[in-house]
């Protein structure tokens, strides 16, 4: 089965984003990082889809998940089915 596409909307100085990114790096997962302040298209897409500008927001095959603790738990629990960084 195809592994899900993971996209993390974030910005660097956000501590909630940083703790999610620490888990992503620890698990060596392949995730596309989308900085919402480096590229305002990312912010606009986040707001258009979720109605909020809160980060972190992990899109799993296009479905948004908020809340850093929930995201970290989901990554840990599903790591065996996720694509790893090369």
Ligand X SMILES: N[C@@H](CCC(=O)N[C@@H](CS)C(=O)NCC(=O)O)C(=O)O
Binding site for ligand X (CB under 6 A): 14-16, 52-56, 67-69
Distances from the Cα of 36 to the Cα of 11, 17, 67, 73, angstroms: 6, 12, 16, 23
Shortest Cβ distance from residue 32 to ligand X (Å)?
Answer: 18
Determine the Cα–Cα distance for residues 44 and 69; give it in Å rounded to an integer: 24
Q: Which is nearer to ligand X, 6 or 68 (CB)?
A: 68
CB of 76 to ligand X, least distance (A): 15
Report the nearest approach of ligand X to the CB of residue 14 (Å): 4
> In the structure encoding, which two tokens stand for residue 11, read together?
């910005």
């Amino acid at each position: 089965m195809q592994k899900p596409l993971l996209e993390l909307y974030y910005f660097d100085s956000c501590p909630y984003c940083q703790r999610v990114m620490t888990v992503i790096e620890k698990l060596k997962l392949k995730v596309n990082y989308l900085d919402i302040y480096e590229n305002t298209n990312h912010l606009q897409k986040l707001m258009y889809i979720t109605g909020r500008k809160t980060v972190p927001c992990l899109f799993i095959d296009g479905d948004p998940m908020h809340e850093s603790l929930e995201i970290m738990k989901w990554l840990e629990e599903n790591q065996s089915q996720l694509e790893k960084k090369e």
